[in-house]
Structure 1
Amino acid sequence: MDPKTLVKDLDHLVSLPDVCIRVNHLMGSGNFSSAQVAEIISQDADISARLLRVVNSSFYGLPTKIETLSRAITIVGADDLRNLVMAATAMRTFTGIPKQLVDMTEYWQHSVTTGVMAQSLAKHSNVLHSERLFVMGLLHDIGRLVIYLTLAEKATDVLYITGGDNWILPQTENEVIGFTHLDVGAELMRAWGLPDSFAAVAGYNNHPQEAGDYQLETSLVHIAKAIANGEMVGLNVQEMLWAIDPFAWQMTGLTPEVVSPMIDEMVAKSHEALSLITPQYKQAFA
């Protein structure tokens, strides 16, 4: 068993909606219009509604309300909208995972918080197209879900050994399974046809210096993930920031003094994002 085989086996358990496959195929051809992309997405009412909610939220800060997908694509770009389609799809696709393996509400809370923080930090660092960091952060840990779905027994062993300690999770996965959820996440990003930067972030968010051409994006998600992890378990700011690789500070130009005052606002914004993308979780954070 290897990550590529595991991702291929995933097709027997879950499948991407037709809208995602068609959008990826169209955009991969390099010959498409905004109207064509919008026409495909509009055939899935649920995803369409989610995308318009996000585009009209504070994440984009547009001066007027966007009523149509074609207009949304014109404003935010086809690539961003394609990435949001994948994010919304992932949240809808991964269901049926045993509760003893993962609390899905907590999982998506962590993932969305990581995405919101990564985008906010990217914007503060003047990174171009900072919105893409939201989706990168949202999907950074998705390899865990693939393992839970396809290797439930081994996943149970891993969780028993780690006792919830995420710091030793990759090492334990290597010992029990032979690879990590980071490896699986990177492979899934490739299988889904997402940009190489997404695979780099998914594969190296623990060690951003290994992310090649995408060290900046991976460093931003690394910082965001550490803060989101700390927030979930109730750490204070100093404890959250202690977990961050010094390389990530150097690569992004951020500092603990800059980031610390941003945390409360970013957490509040993550609750808004979660309710926008998945309204069924809204009550959990009301």
Structure 2
Amino acid sequence: MLDPAEINSQADLIERTLQEIKGLVSLPEVYQKVRNLIDDPHSDIEHFVEVVASDPNLTVAVLRVANSAFFGFPGKIDSLSRAVNMLGIGQLHDLVLATSAIASLKLPNDIMPLKTFWRFSLFSAVLTRLLASQLKIPKSERLFVIGLLYEIGHLVLYAKHPELAKRAMELSRNNQELLHIAEQKLLGMHYGEIGAKLMAQWCLPAHFQDIVHYQPTPDLAPDQRRETALLHLVRACAEKYISGHMRAIEESVSADIWDILQLNAEQLAEAVEQALKAATEMEKLMFN
């Protein structure tokens, strides 16, 4: 039995980390510039191109993603201006946000190397978008970035409180329970809530925050139920196909997920196969 005082102490520690987040985990200047341009009614596409061009790493990432088979744009895109035009401001924002957020934190290799975290996140993002499109969930392209960022709470734990993260993993293994349940017992909150609080600090859209918050517990989601259920299922798939967990997907998800999504095992298997191929290609583009 965990000591309630210890749980409260650890919850307070996480809260203090999140309250000080601007000093601990701040998004790079390039992202802030993109956000400012989005809020500026007088900005045009060339202003966005100038901001991306000011960051060589981001320029390479944008060109590589625009040329990936996943987006399927015709012909080779060899100019930054065309890449930004083809991706659109919304997807450019999401790409800058995701790469900035994940790059802002340094992961200890004994918990999860950054490349492994990216592999998990890319697969999740691709599978989320594929399934959202297949299920005709509105604005399926915006779910791509939520799939990239829904593990951001774990990123905070791994980077800022690695010993607590390890204790939660050990508790999960010993009790044979899902990780978010162990985190709730140990920390007084799980990674979904931590991630949502961080997104609030970054002033990200409220529906991003809600989906990430309730993704581990979709039954409690007050709204965005299909989107939240979808991310819940996607994470179970990522644990199985990327992390190699032996637990069957059916044992890792809420029982009513299939009814909420109106999805069958054959549809999921086909989408997983496509996502594995697309995510592998995107990973090569981003890291090679």
TM-score computed with the length of structure 1 as normaliser: 0.85
Worse-superposed segment, 168-177 or 39-48: 168-177
| Aligned pairs for 1:219-234 within 5 A | 219-234=229-244
One-letter amino acid matched to 2:94: N
- Unaligned 5+ runs, structure 2: 1-11
Deviation sequence 1:112-163 (CA, Å, 0-9, x none) = 1111111111122233443322221111111011122222332232233223
Deviation sequence 1:226-269 (CA, Å, 0-9, x none) = 11111135468x92244333443233322223212332232122
- Unaligned 5+ runs, structure 1: 280-286
The yes-or-no answer on 1:105 pairing with 2:115 is yes
- CA 1:233–1:46 in 2, change beyond 3 Å: closer, same or farther? closer
Which SS does the other structure have where 1:261 is aligned?
helix
The yes-or-no answer on 1:63 pairing with 2:74 is yes
The yes-or-no answer on 1:269 pairing with 2:243 is no
The yes-or-no answer on 1:49 pairing with 2:55 is no
Of residues 100, 122, 131, the one that matches 2:132 is: 122
Q: Is the 8 A contact 2:178 2:252 kept in 1?
A: no
Worse-superposed segment, 158-167 or 243-252: 158-167
Distance 2:227 2:128 in 1: 8
Distance 1:28 1:188 in 2: 21
Distance 1:257 1:83 in 2: 30
The yes-or-no answer on 1:202 pairing with 2:212 is yes
Which SS does the other structure have where 2:18 is aligned?
helix
Distance 1:212 1:48 in 2: 39
Of residues 167, 174, 189, the one that matches 1:157 is: 167
- CA 1:258–1:168 in 2, change beyond 3 Å: closer, same or farther? closer
- CA 1:240–1:171 in 2, change beyond 3 Å: closer, same or farther? closer
Q: Is the 8 A contact 1:185 1:203 kept in 2?
A: yes
Which residue is equivalent to 1:283?
Answer: none
Which SS does the other structure have where 1:77 is aligned?
helix
Report the alpha carbon displacement of residue 30 of structure 1 after superposing the two structures with TM. Answer: 4.9
The yes-or-no answer on 1:12 pairing with 2:13 is no
**Structure number with larger C-alpha Rg:** 2
Deviation sequence 1:93-120 (CA, Å, 0-9, x none) = 222x322333333322222111111111
One-letter amino acid matched to 1:207: T
Which residue is equivalent to 2:89?
Answer: 78
One-letter amino acid matched to 2:229: S
- CA 1:196–1:263 in 2, change beyond 3 Å: closer, same or farther? same
Q: Is the 8 A contact 2:21 2:201 kept in 1?
A: no
Which residue is equivalent to 2:252?
Answer: 243
Which SS does the other structure have where 2:108 is aligned?
coil
Q: Is the 8 A contact 1:113 1:228 kept in 2?
A: yes
Report the alpha carbon displacement of residue 2 of structure 1 after superposing the two structures with TM. Answer: 6.7
Which SS does the other structure have where 2:224 is aligned?
helix
Which SS does the other structure have where 1:179 is aligned?
coil
Deviation sequence 1:200-220 (CA, Å, 0-9, x none) = 222111223433442222222
Report the alpha carbon displacement of residue 197 of structure 1 after superposing the two structures with TM. Answer: 2.5
Q: Is the 8 A contact 2:26 2:104 kept in 1?
A: yes
Distance 1:166 1:83 in 2: 36
Of residues 161, 169, 175, the one that matches 2:179 is: 169
Distance 1:234 1:71 in 2: 39
Q: Is the 8 A contact 1:116 1:273 kept in 2?
A: no
Alpha-carbon RMSD:
2.6
The number of equivalent residue pairs is 277
Report the alpha carbon displacement of residue 78 of structure 1 after superposing the two structures with TM. Answer: 0.9
Q: Is the 8 A contact 2:46 2:81 kept in 1?
A: yes
